[in-house]
Amino acid sequence: MAAALSSQFHPTTYRSIKNVKTKQLVSCSMQQPSQSNIKVVINGAAKEIGRAAVVAVTKARGMEVAGAVDSHLVGEDIGMVCGMEEALEMPIINDLTMVLGSISQQSKATGVVVDFTDPSTVYENVKQATAFGMNSVVYVPRIKLDTVTALSAFCEKASMGCLVAPTLSIGSILLQQAAISASFHYNNVEIVESRPTPTDFPSPDAIQIANNLSNLGQIYNREDISTDILARGQVLGEDGIRVHSLVLPGLPSSTTVYFSGPGEVYSLKHDITDVRCLMPGLILAIRKVVRLKNLVYGLEKFL
């Protein structure tokens, strides 16, 4: 699977998110949800990740799939589309407003809209969810800074929770945290990533790792920081961190961070072989967002 694990920000864009409106994007105001099952609407349900989400939510305790929205496979039962043993008797509908309206008439339970759609529709989707009293989990690659900032202001004003997750992979988050810890002990670091099919490179994972390390104020790879030899890889940011990207059919989606010091090499590696690896993070996000009254950027805030 060549799934993007996080929103595709340019390095300078990611720094802007960390530096602009940090209080709004990071702070976590909490409230107590109701005790009934969380009603979950999957927007983008026909996608690979959407189908995996339907199965994961169906199996999770304390929540249930209440709606499936997509422009593909309209009218087909989402349970059958997901390959489940039994139909969920829930057709895919290409109208988010209709689904939300139907749920609001039937139940006053806590609700969450999981958005796997497109950067151009995220803002309106969250507005619609908020209008019907539902929180949002957003996992949409290439979401822009302006959209995140606008959503933060909107959610703050509406006192509704929204979690924007650059990645839902807990393993990816743990790798990033371990890389930050290691960077205090090593002055040489490079990133090697692989994908089975062409995608946007450097990947969002590599960009986020590089920015995390650059924000620590260190300079890496001083011996050849200024080299322009293409085979040495692309420099991310201004602190000498290089990334090398491989595209070979059959390879897993993988990210490895190499650190080195006198007489040793320390490496951190994370492989993804199936979209199901994102589901524990998604279930965690759904459980946490119902307690929020504003926007939080990054699932790592809850690990």
Query: Cα 257 to the chain's mean position, in Å?
Result: 20
Same domain (yes/no): 100, 240:
no
Asked if residue 302 belongs to a domain, the reply is no
Distance CA 184, CA 174 (A): 16
| Dihedral of the alpha carbons of 95, 296, 31, 60, in degrees to the nearest 10 | 60
Asked if residue 303 belongs to a domain, the reply is no
Residue 239: C-alpha distances to residues 18, 66, 143, 225, 236 (Å): 17, 47, 25, 8, 8
Same domain (yes/no): 134, 255:
no
Same domain (yes/no): 95, 190:
no
pTM of the shown model? 0.83
Same domain (yes/no): 198, 265:
yes
Tokens in use for 213? Answer: 């390390």
Same domain (yes/no): 74, 217:
no
Same domain (yes/no): 147, 118:
yes
pLDDT at residue 145, as a whole number:
87
Each residue's pLDDT, cut to its tens digit, for the chain (303 residues) gives: 444 333 333 434 434 444 444 334 444 455 554 458 999 999 999 999 999 999 999 999 999 999 999 999 999 999 999 999 999 999 999 999 999 999 998 878 899 999 999 999 999 999 999 999 999 999 997 788 899 999 999 999 999 999 999 999 999 999 999 999 999 999 999 999 999 988 878 888 898 899 889 888 888 888 877 777 888 889 887 788 999 999 999 999 999 999 999 999 999 999 999 999 999 999 999 999 999 999 999 999 998
CATH number at residue 246: 3.30.360.10
Q: Who contacts 276 (Cβ-Cβ below 8 Å, separation ≥6)? A: 52, 56
Domains contained in the chain, number = 2
Any idea what DSSP says for residue 302?
G
Domain containing 283 equals 38-164+277-297
Same domain (yes/no): 146, 46:
yes
pLDDT at residue 35, as a whole number:
56
Asked if residue 292 belongs to a domain, the reply is yes
Residue type, 48: E
Query: Cα 4 to the chain's mean position, in Å?
Result: 8
Same domain (yes/no): 42, 155:
yes
Asked if residue 31 belongs to a domain, the reply is no
